[in-house]
């Protein structure tokens, strides 16, 4: 089973990740990982930090001659901005006397709860670890699992359907056509837009909305659409709560900073409809197996993959660090003051879509391992092929 951990602070020397459980024999290139890191840094509405960093991953272990060797993979992403923070974030030498303490918590951030939880006299440690900068390490780690899945015919992609008040209502047919070629085809089409929206009208309106929010000193959130194609039927299980595929996917996406809601398919819309308009009818087609004319379940039935495209929707709240401050107070004096501003984005929804793609990859990979086992790529590929053939034979009559 794949598990990974990240370490590092936003303004520390580097971010790092250790990935355990990757099977041997998976071809991995440095370019594949760095591509996902570049995608994460793009998007209209990003802040000044993205002008400083140019993320690349240095792999320290677990890969030999371009293939995984079954041992833990470790990697680091260096922070170029570290050179400006060597005293403020020094690991051993104390500069506490000359370093400004942050004592004003920002509403909506981890600042206040984190400071009280760990009994700091300075909010800076909370800011630096809770920062979404950490997602660079998660993208790098998830990219390795993503590469593994791709070599089994499973692809992950995303696009953005809403930013602030703007919703793309015209791209359903486009999405369906792109998904026929695989989820990465859809992601590539979305990447051609600065806001990762497929509809040209919505793209222009979203850019204008971000500009207006920036002028007001405000921020915008949005809705991310994540798709996973090529997933075989029967991953996950209804037998125990912690083996349910939908709950695992939801937990992975919800763990992204600023994500406040996750649904499988159009779940909240379905909740307002009768069952006859929600469930997917089953048709048996000779030589092709089970066919569903719709995918309103989002590719998961009974907490297991149905064999259809998995569709996850995620709601990202507006970023909490705003140039236009809200009411707060100073922990040092307990006097009411306006909240402080930490360098941030106006909108990071397009980037969050790339992060979401990365974090669902280990979940799908682990569901595959649970079903098929295997220590190297060819072993897993053979077992997956046999499973697909067996499913088709079950309906051959």
pLDDT confidence of residue 396 = 74
pLDDT confidence of residue 48 = 62
pLDDT confidence of residue 27 = 98
Classify domain 3-393 at the CATH topology level.
Answer: Chorismate synthase, AroC fold (3.60.150)
CB of 174 closer than 8 Å to CB of 200:
no
pLDDT confidence of residue 286 = 83
Phi, psi of 143 (to 5 degrees): -65, -35
pLDDT confidence of residue 39 = 96
- Tokens at 90, concatenated: 């020094």
pLDDT confidence of residue 321 = 87
**Helices marked H in the chain:** 30-41, 49-52, 111-118, 124-130, 135-150, 172-179, 183-191, 200-216, 245-254, 267-270, 349-372, 377-393
b/e code 365-391 from CB counts within 10 Å (16+ = b): bbbbbebbebeebeebbeebeebeeee
Tens-digit pLDDT string for the chain (397 aa)? 999 999 999 999 999 999 999 999 999 999 999 999 999 999 998 776 556 668 999 999 999 999 999 999 999 999 999 999 999 999 998 898 899 999 999 999 999 999 999 999 999 999 999 999 999 999 999 999 999 999 999 999 999 999 999 999 999 999 999 999 999 999 999 999 999 999 999 999 999 999 999 999 999 999 999 999 999 999 999 999 999 999 999 999 999 999 999 999 999 999 999 999 999 999 998 878 899 999 999 999 999 999 999 999 999 999 998 889 899 999 999 999 999 888 789 999 999 999 999 999 999 999 999 999 999 999 999 999 999 999 988 887 6
pLDDT confidence of residue 212 = 96
Pairing of strands 63-64, 14-20: unpaired
Helix (H, G, I), strand (E, B) or coil at 24: strand
pLDDT confidence of residue 211 = 96
pLDDT confidence of residue 50 = 59
Contacts of 59-64 with C-beta under 8 Å, sequence gap 24+, read 59/30, 59/33, 62/19, 62/22, 63/28
- Tokens at 232, concatenated: 């075989």
pLDDT confidence of residue 219 = 95
The residues spanned by each domain of the chain are 3-393
**pTM listed for this prediction:** 0.95
pLDDT confidence of residue 392 = 87
pLDDT confidence of residue 52 = 65
CB of 62 closer than 8 Å to CB of 19:
yes
DSSP codes of every residue in 145-210 = HHHHHHTTT-EEEEEEEEETTEE--S-HHHHHHHHTT-HHHHHHHHHTSTT--S-HHHHHHHHHHH
């Amino acid at each position: 089973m794949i598990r990974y951990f990240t370490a590092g602070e936003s303004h520390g020397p580097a971010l790092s990740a250790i990935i355990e459980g990757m099977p041997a024999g998976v071809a991995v290139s440095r370019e594949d990982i760095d591509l996902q890191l570049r995608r994460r840094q793009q998007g209209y509405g990003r802040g000044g930090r993205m002008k400083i960093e140019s993320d690349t991953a240095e792999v320290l272990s677990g890969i030999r001659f371009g293939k995984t060797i079954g041992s833990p993979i470790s990697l680091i992403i260096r922070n170029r901005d570290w050179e400006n923070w060597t005293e403020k974030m020094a690991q051993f030498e104390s500069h506490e006397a000359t370093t400004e303490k942050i004592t004003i918590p920002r509403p909506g951030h981890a600042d206040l709860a984190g400071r009280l939880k760990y009994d700091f006299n300075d909010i800076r440690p909370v800011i630096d670890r809770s920062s979404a900068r950490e997602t660079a390490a998660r993208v790098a780690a998830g990219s390795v699992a993503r590469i593994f899945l791709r070599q089994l015919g499973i692809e992950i992609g995303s696009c953005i359907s809403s930013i602030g008040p703007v919703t793309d209502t015209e791209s359903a047919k486009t999405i369906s056509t792109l998904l026929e070629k695989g989820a990465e085809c859809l992601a590539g089409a979305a990447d051609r837009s600065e806001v990762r929206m497929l509809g040209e009208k919505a793209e222009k309106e979203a850019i204008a909305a971000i500009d207006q929010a920036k002028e007001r000193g405000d921020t915008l959130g949005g809705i991310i659409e994540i798709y996973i194609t090529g997933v075989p039927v029967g991953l996950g299980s209804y037998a125990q709560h912690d083996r349910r595929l939908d709950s695992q996917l939801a937990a992975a996406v919800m763990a992204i900073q600023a994500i406040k809601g996750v649904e499988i398919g159009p779940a909240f819309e379905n909740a307002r409809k009768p069952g006859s308009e929600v469930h997917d009818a089953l048709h048996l087609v000779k030589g092709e197996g089970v066919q569903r004319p719709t995918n309103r379940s989002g590719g998961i039935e009974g907490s297991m993959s149905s064999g259809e495209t998995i569709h996850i929707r995620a709601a990202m709240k507006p970023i909490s660090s705003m140039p236009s401050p809200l009411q707060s107070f100073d922990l040092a004096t307990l006097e009411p003051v306006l909240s402080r501003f930490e360098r941030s984005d106006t909108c990071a929804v397009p980037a969050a879509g790339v992060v979401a793609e990365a974090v669902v990859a280990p979940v799908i990979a682990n569901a595959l391992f649970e079903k098929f086992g295997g220590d190297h790529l060819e072993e897993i590929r053979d077992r997956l092929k046999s499973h697909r053939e067996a499913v088709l034979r079950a309906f051959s009559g």
